[in-house]
Amino acid sequence: MEPKVWREMGLNDEEYARIEELMGREPNFLEVGIFSVMWSEHCSYKTSKPILKKFPTEGPQVLQGPGENAGIVDIGDNLAVVFKMESHNHPSATEPYQGAATGVGGMLRDVFTMGARPVAVLNALRLGPLEEENNKFLFNGVVSGISGYGNSIGIPTVGGDVYFNSCYNGIPLVNAMAVGLLEHCHIAKGVATGVGNPVMVVGARTGRDGIHGATFASIELSEESEAKRSAVQAGDPFMEKLLMEACLELIHAGAVVGIQDMGAAGLTSSSSEMASRGNSGIEMDLSLVPRRESGMTPYELMLSESQERMLIVPKAGREKEVEEVFARWGLEATVVGKVTDDGILRLLEDGQVVAEIPAKALTDQAPVYHRLSREPGYYQELKNIELNDLELKANVEDVLLGLLANPTIAGKEWIYRQYDHQAGTNTMVVPGGDAGVLRVRGTNKGIAMTTDCNSRYVYLDPYIGGALAVVEAAQNVACVGARPLAVTDCLNFGNPENPEIFWQFEKACAGVAEACRVLETPVIGGNVSLYNETPARTVYPTPLIGMVGLLEDLKHVLSNQFHSEGEQIYLLGESEGELAGSEYLALFENLEAGALPELNLQEIKKRLDFLLELNCAGLLLAAHDVTEGGLAVALAEMTEKYGVTINFDTKNKLKTLFGERLGRIIISTSKDDALRIESQAKTAGISLHRLGESGGDRLRISVNQVMCLDIPLNKYRSVFEQTISKIMETDVGF
């Protein structure tokens, strides 16, 4: 075979040599194609594997850790939550609507393939600044795509996050997370076992869409990928809904031995992974695969990424039942092969063998790379930039209004009013809260969920920033009254073959791992997206964290708004933040630099436990974490209905009002409970500051008893609430 062939498919010469060795012969074109997708970064994790090993993945709550289509966590009452996050960055860069839509579709399949009914979707978006038309176009398309897919399938989108930064110019990140619920007895897995059991393709027909999408997702975006545009696939949420109902019905009927969705690398990855997990082989006759287009070759059939398809191994003898269930939902189910005992993925066309590959060679014997790692020059340089002498650039009111009008901080209603966030009538905290909360029907419990990552922090200090992404997720979950349970991640980085990028990756993951360990939230699944770069730039390292938490008692759900006059307002944690990596610094000094405050995970853990303890005792009225924009912004966010009067005693006004430092939470309580909270904090050794009280219709902040801000609610709330909408509703519209 010509080297050109495998090189074009994305394999290097050593990899090809390894394939020959594993096969014991020269592979044919189809076989090389199959190896190339299975050994792509997207499917094989060849670069990230050694790093991911360091994540804590165990805990008493974990029923299924990484390795399956999605992880599972126990929530008691014989129920479990299933969740997973995944990227659809590259497809979304080319076709934002379909890219985002099919991202949601793929996530949902990963969840119902485990036997769970999806109950919620979240989305994490990273885009270039909205001043640029192309970013507006991408933002608009991505949000419409998520809305279009999620809404029509009837699953609420209850949360997410979004940041705008020029590091994402032309390289949008679109990560979707899906969450499902199941009874323990219904857990299904992606395994093919039981020699002679049939293998069935169900759902949509196979077409030529997205061929080489998996490799496509792992190479840098360049002129070249422009030409591969047809590699984008389109979704059909209606079909997905039917597929979901049919699959769940079948799994619950006990007819299924193994089931897996066809995601990246469609039939190739689903069949080889199922065979490998089951220590079996699979034999399929590709001429039996139902198709949408004529003249498709085995290569195209194996590599197609047509959406809304699943591979099912039912119990032998129950094929008819499978067909009937699918027919009732208007879907096709076709036997295309069987499970064998020889560990080989054997493909036939009209009875002729066209490929024979040991399944394990595809899944377990992919090369593993220990990439070079080097600290980038920018790291020390930016860290050492002195920020302590900076003084407030403008008056407090102008700074606050400026920050609130920054799309990263401004309210996100323009996004989530396009998402059905109430389908299923279980949503107790809708988007706009610190985390989405759903009640769990039939119990008195709720589940909370969030996605988080400030990539500027990660850029400035990958270790601390990685840990902070987990901290932010945990504090968001805790702020709605839920105990953090577990994490799924989506690791978005640049080209790992660049040692400086690999250094970011390694350090950020170490930070994530450490935070997960201390906060007792094991990583139960995730996804890696590398090569997020163009010749012009690389994204900031963005290890997105999706977290789910458990609310033991629905009546303890907490809001991030003051709901009455006279609530006593306190701050848990340090009253001064730092300017390093802050929105203030970026906006008013045009600088993304500084040394992040030192990480104190143990202290933060203690604080979050304390918060949950107070809440369980019924002592809290509201809670909100302090993130971008610092304390002044956090207070502004909490005052939709009631104003506040606040005083800070501090030496540094700028750092106190606008400095950032994660792990801090604003809480409120009634007058009656205030003293109790103060004394409990003292006993527990938790730092607690009284800030002031709610009431009136103004935001009034003084520093050392000198008034520095006194502004009516409607003045700044309208800025907060309308900024994004104003930007997006001018001439995008169509």
Partner 1 sequence: MLKAKVTVTLKDSIVDPQGSAAERVLTSMKYPVESIRIGKYMEVILSENDKVKAEEIMHEICQKLLANPVMEDYSFELEG
Partner 2 sequence: MKIGIIRFPGSGEGDCLEAWRVVGEEPVLIWHQETSVEGFDLIVLPGGFSYGDYLRAGALACFSPIMSAVLRFAQRGGLVWGIGNGFQILTEGGLLPGAFLCNAQLRFLCSPQYLRVERNDLAFTNQYRTGQVIQIPINHGEGNYSISDDGYRQLEENNQIVLRYVTPEGEMSANGNPNGSRANIAGIVNREGNVFGMMPHPERVMEEIIGGVDGQGMFLSILKHRERRTQHGA
Ligand X SMILES: Nc1ncnc2c1ncn2[C@@H]1O[C@H](COP(=O)(O)OP(=O)(O)O)[C@@H](O)[C@H]1O
Q: Which residues bind partner 2 (CB under 8 A)?
A: 144, 147-148, 151-154, 236-239, 241-242, 329-330, 416-428, 430, 439, 554, 557, 729, 733-734
Task: In angstroms, give the least distance from the CB of 704 to partner 2.
Answer: 40
Contact partner, 232, from ligand X, partner 1, partner 2, none, Cβ < 5-8 Å per class: partner 1
| Contact flag: residue 412 with ligand X (CB under 6 A) | yes
Secondary element (H or E) of residue 587: helix 583-588
Given a contact cutoff of 8 angstroms between Cβ atoms, the answer to whether 636 and 674 are in contact is: no
List b or e across 356-378, with b for residues whose CB sees 16 or more CB atoms inside 10 angstroms: bbbbbbbbebbeebebebeebee
The two structure tokens encoding residue 205:
């027909």
The two structure tokens encoding residue 453:
């990552």
Given 88, 90, 212, 421, the catalytic residue:
88
Kindly write out the interface string for residues 83-122 of this chain, putting x where it contacts ligand X by CB under 6 A and - elsewhere: ----------------------------------------
Kindly write out the interface string for residues 464-503 of this chain, putting x where it contacts ligand X by CB under 6 A and - elsewhere: ------------x---------------------------
Footprint of Mg ion on residues 608-627 (CB under 5 A)?
Answer: 625
Q: Which stretch binds Mg ion (CB under 5 A): 87-95, 192-200, 474-482, 515-523?
A: 474-482
Let me know the angle formed at the C-alpha of 600 by 595 and 606, rounded to the nearest 5 degrees: 150
Footprint of ligand X on residues 146-175 (CB under 6 A)?
Answer: 157, 159-162
Rank residues 15 and 434 by Cβ distance to ligand X and give the closer one. 434
Nearest CA to 542 out of 28, 193, 175 is that of 175
Given a contact cutoff of 8 angstroms between Cβ atoms, the answer to whether 497 and 220 are in contact is: no
* Residues forming beta bridges with residue 180, ordered by sequence position: 82, 118
Type of residue found at 598:
E
12/725 Cα distance (integer angstroms) = 47
Rank residues 359 and 429 by Cβ distance to Mg ion and give the closer one. 429
Based on C-alpha coordinates, what's the Rg of the chain? 26
Helix (H, G, I), strand (E, B) or coil at 404: helix
Nearest CA to 652 out of 630, 682, 634 is that of 630
Contact partner, 386, from partner 2, partner 1, Mg ion, none, Cβ < 5-8 Å per class: none
| Residue with the shortest CB distance to Mg ion | 434
Rank residues 141 and 494 by Cβ distance to partner 1 and give the closer one. 141
Task: In angstroms, give the least distance from the CB of 734 to partner 1.
Answer: 4
Secondary element (H or E) of residue 140: helix 133-153
Given a contact cutoff of 8 angstroms between Cβ atoms, the answer to whether 621 and 426 are in contact is: no
Type of residue found at 167:
C
Angle between helix axes 266-277 and 29-38 (nearest 10 degrees) is 70
705/692 Cα distance (integer angstroms) = 11
Task: In angstroms, give the least distance from the CB of 150 to Mg ion.
Answer: 22
Task: In angstroms, give the least distance from the CB of 6 to Mg ion.
Answer: 47
Q: Which stretch binds ligand X (CB under 6 A): 210-218, 272-280, 428-436, 659-667?
A: 428-436
Rank residues 301 and 699 by Cβ distance to ligand X and give the closer one. 699
- Cα 548 vs. chain centroid, distance in angstroms? 11
Whether 556 sits among the annotated catalytic residues: the reply is no
Rank residues 48 and 147 by Cβ distance to ligand X and give the closer one. 147
Rank residues 415 and 548 by Cβ distance to ligand X and give the closer one. 415
Helix (H, G, I), strand (E, B) or coil at 11: coil
Contact partner, 204, from partner 1, partner 2, ligand X, none, Cβ < 5-8 Å per class: partner 1
Contact partner, 86, from ligand X, partner 2, Mg ion, none, Cβ < 5-8 Å per class: none
| Contact flag: residue 434 with Mg ion (CB under 5 A) | yes
Question: Which residues, including other chains, have CB under 8 Å from residue 254's CB and lie 6 or more apart?
Answer: none
Given a contact cutoff of 8 angstroms between Cβ atoms, the answer to whether 26 and 35 are in contact is: no
Q: Which stretch binds ligand X (CB under 6 A): 168-176, 267-275, 429-437, 482-490?
A: 429-437
Question: In Å, what is the CA distance from 32 to each residue of 10, 214, 227?
Answer: 10, 14, 22
Given a contact cutoff of 8 angstroms between Cβ atoms, the answer to whether 428 and 554 are in contact is: yes
Given a contact cutoff of 8 angstroms between Cβ atoms, the answer to whether 333 and 202 are in contact is: yes
Rank residues 304 and 450 by Cβ distance to partner 1 and give the closer one. 304
CA dihedral 624, 627, 633, 637 (to 10 degrees): -40
| Contact flag: residue 123 with ligand X (CB under 6 A) | yes
Task: In angstroms, give the least distance from the CB of 430 to ligand X.
Answer: 8
Given a contact cutoff of 8 angstroms between Cβ atoms, the answer to whether 486 and 26 are in contact is: no
Nearest CA to 156 out of 427, 473, 417, 551 is that of 427
Among 433, 446, 484, 663, binds ligand X (CB under 6 A): 433
Rank residues 364 and 729 by Cβ distance to partner 2 and give the closer one. 729
Contact partner, 465, from partner 2, ligand X, partner 1, none, Cβ < 5-8 Å per class: none
| Contact flag: residue 44 with ligand X (CB under 6 A) | no
Contact partner, 729, from partner 2, Mg ion, ligand X, none, Cβ < 5-8 Å per class: partner 2
Task: In angstroms, give the least distance from the CB of 344 to partner 1.
Answer: 31
Neighbours of 717 (CB within 10 A): 19
692/649 Cα distance (integer angstroms) = 11
Footprint of Mg ion on residues 642-671 (CB under 5 A)?
Answer: none
Rank residues 44 and 559 by Cβ distance to partner 2 and give the closer one. 559
Whether 624 sits among the annotated catalytic residues: the reply is no
377/635 Cα distance (integer angstroms) = 37
Rank residues 98 and 627 by Cβ distance to ligand X and give the closer one. 627
Type of residue found at 13:
D
Given a contact cutoff of 8 angstroms between Cβ atoms, the answer to whether 396 and 708 are in contact is: yes
Task: In angstroms, give the least distance from the CB of 33 to partner 2.
Answer: 33
Given a contact cutoff of 8 angstroms between Cβ atoms, the answer to whether 61 and 485 are in contact is: yes
Largest Cα span, the chain = 86
DSSP for residue 554: G
Contact partner, 581, from partner 2, Mg ion, partner 1, none, Cβ < 5-8 Å per class: none
Task: In angstroms, give the least distance from the CB of 636 to Mg ion.
Answer: 13
**Which pairing describes strands 332-340 and 281-285: parallel, antiparallel, or unpaired?**
antiparallel
| Contact flag: residue 699 with ligand X (CB under 6 A) | no
Given 42, 90, 212, 421, the catalytic residue:
42
Binding site for partner 1 (CB under 8 A): 94-95, 98, 204, 207-209, 229-230, 232-239, 292-293, 306-307, 330, 731-734
Contact partner, 161, from partner 1, partner 2, ligand X, none, Cβ < 5-8 Å per class: ligand X
Task: In angstroms, give the least distance from the CB of 239 to partner 1.
Answer: 7
Task: In angstroms, give the least distance from the CB of 539 to ligand X.
Answer: 17
Contact partner, 95, from Mg ion, partner 1, ligand X, none, Cβ < 5-8 Å per class: partner 1
Contact partner, 306, from Mg ion, partner 1, partner 2, none, Cβ < 5-8 Å per class: partner 1
Question: In Å, what is the CA distance from 54 to each residue of 515, 525, 543, 567?
Answer: 12, 13, 15, 44
Binding site for Mg ion (CB under 5 A): 434, 476, 625
> Which residues participate in catalysis according to the annotation?
42, 88
Binding site for ligand X (CB under 6 A): 123, 125, 157, 159-162, 412, 415-416, 431-434, 452, 476, 627
